[in-house]
Amino acid sequence: MTTANKTVLLTGDSPLYAELHQIMTDSGYRVVTLAEGAAEPESIFLAVEVNNLDLTAKQEQLSELDRMLSPSVPILTTSLAITATEAASWTESPERICGFGTLVPLAERALFEVAPALQTESDVLEVVQSFFHSLGKEVEIVEDEVGLVFPRILTLIINEAAFTVMEKAATPEDIDTAMKKGTNYPYGPLEWADRIGLDEIYAISRGLHRDLSEERYRTAPLLRKLVLAKRYGVRSGIGFYSYREAGGGEG
């Protein structure tokens, strides 16, 4: 697929925004904001919406995209905190909504997961697949459930590590060391969470708990409090660890 002069509308406040903007620009797309796109809706070939923590904003922006763009324009939405099927239900043209999910840093993701909503039409799914291929990513198509596969499993691991810190059963440093040295994880779960953004992890955890309604998905109170205190991790200077001054140290 040629990307030359194709315009993608990107909107949302997920930590994914900046990195998606970067890889789309690097792949030759022209990337515009919601406001910019509103001035030239006919030039948009595909829209990507990435709100996870603020579901009111997610619904408002998806509704606006749905009103503004011709029903033939596919809209990709992150299905990390709600299902794509629910997001599609908010729109007048649900057949062009498709879910996807990944976590930053995108340089480490050779593969993106795509989850079509129950309403998604097959030709939309084809456009979505070739779009991700054009960004240099492989695609795995999974059924539509909150958090897809990798974000869901990693969120539960991080949540369990957060319970362990909350209980003071072990320090964040020791938990991260144990998971890297005892079971070969690429990163310790808490340093990993700090890089992804605790807001993103919390949004997934809360979404799983909301949709599946089981104690199994209960968010660790410490994780929720860190997010309420805006301690999102590396990008806000503090999360499970502090990144201010010389770095390191327990948050």
Partner 1 sequence: MERKTVGVIGAGTMGAGIALVCARREHGVLLLDANQTVLEKAKSYLISILSKDVEKGKISEQQKQETLERVQFVSDIEKLAPTDIVIEAVPERLDLKKSIFGDLTRICRSDALLLTNTSSISITEIAGGLTHPERILGFHFFNPAPVMPLIEVIRGKKSSEENVQAAYQFAVDLGKVPVLVTDTPGFIVNRVARPYYNEALRILGDNVANVEQIDRIMKQAGGFKMGPFELQDMIGIDINFATTQSVYTDFFHEGRFKPSRIQQRMVQSGSLGRKTGDGFYDYSK
Note the residues at the interface with partner 1 (CB under 8 A): 102, 108-113, 138, 140, 142-143, 145, 148-150, 152-154, 156-157, 159-161, 163-164, 167-171, 174-175, 177-179, 181-187, 189, 214-216, 218
- Tell the smallest beta-carbon distance from residue 147 to partner 1 (Å): 9
- Tell the smallest beta-carbon distance from residue 38 to partner 1 (Å): 33
216 or 244, CB closer to partner 1? Answer: 216
42 or 215, CB closer to partner 1? Answer: 215
7 or 134, CB closer to partner 1? Answer: 134
What is the CA 139 to chain-centroid distance, rounded? 15
DSSP letter (8 states) at residue 171: -
88 or 154, CB closer to partner 1? Answer: 154
- Tell the smallest beta-carbon distance from residue 231 to partner 1 (Å): 20
66 or 145, CB closer to partner 1? Answer: 145
- Tell the smallest beta-carbon distance from residue 102 to partner 1 (Å): 7
- On whether the CB atoms of residues 51 and 58 are closer than 8 A, the answer is yes
Q: Which of 49, 154, 57 is nearest to 99 (CA)?
A: 49
Residue 220 to residues 161, 178, 194, Cα–Cα distance (Å): 9, 20, 15
37 or 189, CB closer to partner 1? Answer: 189
Angle at the Cα of 86 from the Cα atoms of 82 and 92, rounded to 5 degrees = 140
Quick one: tokens of 85? Answer: 């099927």
C-alpha–C-alpha distance, residues 251 and 191, integer Å = 11
85 or 93, CB closer to partner 1? Answer: 85
- Tell the smallest beta-carbon distance from residue 228 to partner 1 (Å): 22
- On whether the CB atoms of residues 165 and 179 are closer than 8 A, the answer is no
Start-to-end C-alpha separation, the chain: 46
- Tell the smallest beta-carbon distance from residue 171 to partner 1 (Å): 8
Torsion angle, CA of 106/111/115/116, rounded to 10 degrees? 100
C-alpha–C-alpha distance, residues 110 and 15, integer Å = 18
Phi, psi of 51 (to 5 degrees): -95, 135
Q: How many CB atoms lie within 10 A of CB 165?
A: 21
- Tell the smallest beta-carbon distance from residue 88 to partner 1 (Å): 17
What is the CA 221 to chain-centroid distance, rounded? 21
